[in-house]
Structure 1
């Protein structure tokens, strides 16, 4: 059977995503990734250039996956937030990867920061164009859109970043029961935030 380079890359990527999500960058081991991928370590270095670059590639791909699959619809913001909440419930590995990045990857910008900034800027601009904080001057509206975007991201992600705390604070027996409650609350909070964005922004004079 001929060697299939693309299949090998796919297996390495899937094994690396699982390894990094569970153990982080420092705790992950290239030999474990190779074993899980049924590949040799040399293939990992050949295709990805080492553990740090492999982690960055996995994180970029996961972020691109959620960007392509889902987006904030400024005209149906609460519904979009519910869909994104559901996506994270099905793909909790992205939250874990982002947490590991924050803990281990350091403060220096990586090679993908420019693209990630541009994607976030586009989403914030979409919110502004849809009328978010339209009572503010243009520059302040942009900042209000950015603040709203990050607030919504945190409103969704925190439920999956600290699942046990979520369960205990809500006094539920299971995390799934807590998530059912949280989904409804998150959607209603997003609906409220969409109508009040910019109300407390310094540029509004409040």
Structure 2
């Protein structure tokens, strides 16, 4: 049977994603990745260059996958958040990879930081264009949208970063019950956060139209 390079790359990628999610960059072993992928170590270095570059490629691909699969609809933000919550529940490896990156990479810039930053800028501007913080000046609206975006990310991701704590704090018997409850709460929280204050709320207290 002819050698299928693309299939080998896919097997390496899938095996490495599982290995890095479980053990992080430092704890991952190329030998285990090769065994799980039914490939040799030389193929891993040939296709990806190094263990560090393989980790970066996987994280980049996973983040691109979530970007393509789901989006924030400014006109239906709470519903979009529910879809994002479901995506993370179905793909728990992404949260683990991001946490390992934070633990092991520290604050050093990573290779694709510019691209990731641009992606977040695009999402923030989508929120602004959709009316987020419409009572504020343009620059302030962008900053408010960025804060809202990061708050949404935290509201969703923390549930999957510490599932046991989520279950214990909520005093639920199972992770599934805790996550179902948190999904409802996150959606309602985002719905309230995204509500634009009316003109009376935007004015400083004690300063009505008559000043």
Q: Same fold (TM over 0.5)?
A: yes
Secondary structure at the residue paired with 1:2? coil
Which whole-Å CA distance do the structure 1 matches of 2:163 and 2:184 have between them?
Answer: 16
Task: Give the equivalent residue in structure 2 for 1:126.
Answer: 126
> What number of residue pairs does the alignment pair up?
200
**CA shift digits 1:58-92 (9 cap, x unpaired):** 00000000000001111100000000000111000
The CA deviation at 1:159 is: 0.3
Whole-Å Cα distance in 1 between the matches of residues 54 and 97 of structure 2? Answer: 12
In structure 2, list runs of 5 or more residues that go unmatched: 198-202, 206-211
Q: Which has the larger radius of gyration?
A: 2
Indicate the residue corresponding to 1:52 in structure 2: 52
SS at match of 1:195: coil
Name 1:88's counterpart in structure 2: 88
Question: Is 1:188 equivalent to 2:182 in the alignment?
Answer: no
Distance in 2, matches of 1:36 and 1:170, equals: 37
Q: Specify whether residues 205 and 118 from structure 1 end up closer, same or farther in structure 2 by C-alpha distance, changes over 3 A only.
A: farther
Moved more, 13-22 or 135-144: 135-144
**Corresponding residue SS for 2:195:** helix
CA contact (8 A) 2:125 2:142 kept: yes
Distance (whole Å) between structure 1 residues aligned to residue 134 and residue 186 of structure 2 = 23
Name the counterpart of 1:201: none
Secondary structure of 2:39's match?
Answer: coil
Q: Counterparts of 1:145 and 1:169 in 2: how far apart (Å)?
A: 29
**Aligned positions of 1:138-153 closer than 5 A:** 138-153=138-153
CA deviation profile, 1:138-174 (whole Å, cap 9, x unmatched): 1111100000000001000000000000000000011
Aligned match of 2:65: 65
Q: Structure 2: how far apart are the matches of 1:11 and 1:4?
A: 11
TM-score of the superposed pair, with normalisation by structure 2: 0.92
Identify unmatched segments of 5+ residues in structure 1.
198-203
Closer/same/farther in 2, CA of residues 102 and 205 from structure 1, 3 Å limit: farther
Matched-pair contact (CA < 8 Å) for 2:25–2:55: yes
- Cα distance in 1 for partners of 2:114, 2:7 equals 29
Residue aligning to 2:23: 23
- Quote the RMSD (CA, aligned, Å): 1.3
Supply the distance in 2 between the matched residues of 1:180 and 1:108 (Cα, whole angstroms).
36
Contact 2:72 2:80 in 1 (8 A): yes
